[in-house]
Amino acid sequence: MITKIESADRGRAQFGWLDSHHTFSFGHYYDPKRMGWGPLRVINEDRVIPGAGFDTHGHKDMEIISYVLDGALEHKDSLGTGSVIRPGRLQRMTAGTGIRHSEYNHSKENPVHFLQIWVIPEAANLEPGYEEKEIARSDTGSGLSLIGSRTGRDGSITIHQDVDLYVAHLGEGETASHKIEPGRIAWVQVARGMLSVNGETLKAGDGAAIRDEDELVFTDATEAEALVFDMVA
Mean pLDDT, each 10-residue run in order, the chain (233 residues)? 97 96 96 97 98 94 98 95 94 97 96 98 97 76 87 95 96 93 97 97 98 97 96 96
Q: Strand runs (DSSP E) across the chain, as ranges? A: 2-5, 11-14, 18-22, 40-48, 53-59, 63-70, 73-77, 82-85, 89-94, 99-105, 112-119, 129-134, 145-149, 157-158, 163-170, 176-179, 184-197, 200-203, 207-210, 215-232
- Strand-strand pairing, 112-119 and 40-48: antiparallel
Q: Name the maximum alpha-carbon separation found in the chain.
A: 48
In angstroms and rounded to an integer, the radius of gyration of the C-alpha atoms of the chain is 17
pTM for the whole structure: 0.95
Closest CA to 216 of 233, 202, 196, 231: 196
pLDDT of residue 139: 56
pLDDT of residue 141: 59
Residue 195 CA to its chain's centroid (Å): 17
pLDDT of residue 140: 57
Separation CA 37–CA 180 (nearest Å) = 16
- Strand-strand pairing, 63-70 and 145-149: unpaired
In three state form, how does the secondary structure of 45-72 look? Answer: EEEECCCCEEEEEEECCCEEEEEEEECC
Closest CA to 66 of 39, 50, 41, 46: 46
Closest CA to 189 of 115, 111, 95, 85: 115
pLDDT of residue 77: 92
Angle at 101 between CA 86 and CA 164, to 5 degrees: 60
pLDDT of residue 109: 97
